[in-house]
Amino acid sequence: MTVELVRSNASDADVLFAARVSTQGEQTLESAQSGDEATSRDRGLINYLMRDRHGSPFEHNSMTFYVQAPIFVFREFMRHRMASYNEESGRYRQLNPTFYVPNEKRNLVQEGKPGAYNFLPGTAEQTALVQAEAEAQSVAAYESYQRMLEAGVAREVARIVLPLNLYSSMYVTVNARSLMNFLSLRTKREGTHFPSFPQREIEMCAEQMENFFAELMPLTYEAFNKNGRVAP
C-alpha cells in the first residue's frame, strides 16, 4: 500500500482561529491571516475542543493524499462519505497488471464473532495456497482482459473480468475532523473508547495517513489520542 501526501493546508493554528471566532469575532482575522503556528500554550484549548466534542473548528483545513491500493481496499475507503475521491478509470485507460498477493506476514485464520474478530497466522500450507491461487487467477484474468482488448472490445467492457486484488490509484482530500473519524474506524489501538477491527490492508493505508497527520497537526493529534481516538 502506498500513501503520499500531495499537498496540505493544515495546521493546529487553523483550529484555533476557527474556535476563537465564537467569542472574539473579527479580532481573530489578523491571527487567521498571519500564518503563525500554534504553540504549546494552545494545547489546552485544542484538548478542550476535542474532549467536549466541539468538532467544527477541526474542519478548516485540507489534506490531499495519493493512494495506491487494491480495488477491494478502495471499496472500504468509499464507505467513508466524508472525503472527496478521484480514482483512475478503467474506461479511459488500459489498467496495469499489478495485483496484490498477501505475503507470509498476513494473518489468514479468522476467529470470533462478528464485530470482534481475531485473525491468526495461517499455516505454511495455507499461505502457499493463498499465494498460488491469487497469482493464478490474477494472471488468467489479465490474459482474458488483454485478449478482449486485442479483439477490439471496449476497455469498459473488457475490465469486467479483472479481480478485486488489482491495484488502482486515487486522490483523497479530507479535513482533520473527517480524517480522525476514518482513523478511529480503520486502525486498531489499545485504549480507544470504541475499539475497531479493520481489515489489515486498509489499516496499512490509514497508518501512513496518520503519520502525515501527526506531523502536520501535532497538538490536534496529541489531543485525539489523549481523548480515546474519538473524532469530535
Q: What is the pLDDT of residues 84-109, one digit of tens each?
A: 999 999 999 999 999 999 999 999 99
Backbone angles phi, psi at 134, to 5 degrees: -65, -45
**104 with 128: CB under 8 angstroms?**
no
Q: Which pLDDT belongs to residue 221?
A: 98
Q: Which parts of the chain sit beneath pLDDT 50?
A: none
Please report the pLDDT score of residue 81 as a whole number: 86
**Residue 20: what pLDDT?**
84
What is the reported pLDDT for 190? 85
Q: Which pLDDT score, from 0 to 100, does residue 177 have?
A: 98
* Residue 30: per-residue pLDDT: 65
Packing angle between helix 200-216 and helix 176-186, nearest 10 degrees? 140
200 is catalytic: no
The whole-number pLDDT of residue 152 equals: 98
pLDDT at 78: 93
Q: Which of 186, 189, 200, 229 is catalytic?
A: 186
Q: Are 55 and 100 in contact (CB under 8 A)?
A: no
Residues 6 or more apart from 12 whose CB is under 8 A from it? 37, 38, 42, 46, 217, 218, 219, 220
Helix axes 176-186, 218-226, angle to 10 degrees: 40
With beta carbons less than 8 A apart as the criterion, state whether 54 and 19 touch: yes
